[in-house]
Amino acid sequence: MPILKRSLLITGMILLPSLGLSGAATDRLSVCLNQNTTYIDRLNLVRWIIKAYASHPAVQDLAAIPQKQRVEIDQIMAEIVQRLLSEDCPDEARTALVVDGDVALEAAFEVLGRSAGQSLLTDAVVNNEIMGFIDFVDEDKIEALKN
């Protein structure tokens, strides 16, 4: 299996927590990826994450994404990953792979994915959606936990 496919296993790259096996070289790669990712890159990364999550049978009814759009999102993600690794951060990627192994790319992109997701949390509409459930929580039951 080519190193990129082996190292960038989609589920391990961003969608799952990292294995915590990264070192200084991977940390430098994470910084480089973050510094070279534009706002639009981050939005596209989040779109890719949402596309992936939306494919799970339990949530498919919430987000129907046409196959053509799924392919376009994957193509954009491939361009971002390729640019970051081969043009923006090749030295950092090479060093991280040599020093920390295949987990380096998984860990570095997981950091980037978290960062991209957090950037959406600054939007007021997103925050309102996140807090929407509060109206349905019985505060007395939560307060009772303090006793």
For residue 85, the enclosing domain spans 3-144
Nearest-angstrom CA–CA distance, 122 and 116: 11
Residue 53 contacts by C-beta under 8 Å, 6 or more apart in sequence? 15, 59
Residue 83 contacts by C-beta under 8 Å, 6 or more apart in sequence? none
DSSP 8-state class, residue 133: G
- The answer to whether 105 and 7 have CB atoms below 8 angstroms apart is yes
Nearest-angstrom CA–CA distance, 97 and 69: 32
Q: Tell me which residue of 80, 11, 90 sits closest to 45, measured CA to CA.
A: 80
Global pTM value:
0.77
pLDDT of the residue at 119: 84
Q: Please give the structure tokens belonging to residue 131.
A: 């807090």
How many structural domains comprise the chain? 1
Per-residue pLDDT of the chain (147 residues; tens, 9 = 90+): 454 444 444 434 444 444 455 689 999 999 999 999 999 999 999 999 999 999 999 998 998 899 999 999 999 999 999 999 999 999 999 999 999 998 999 999 999 999 998 888 888 898 889 888 888 989 999 889 888
Q: Please give the structure tokens belonging to residue 29.
A: 């790669």
Q: Please give the structure tokens belonging to residue 17.
A: 């927590």
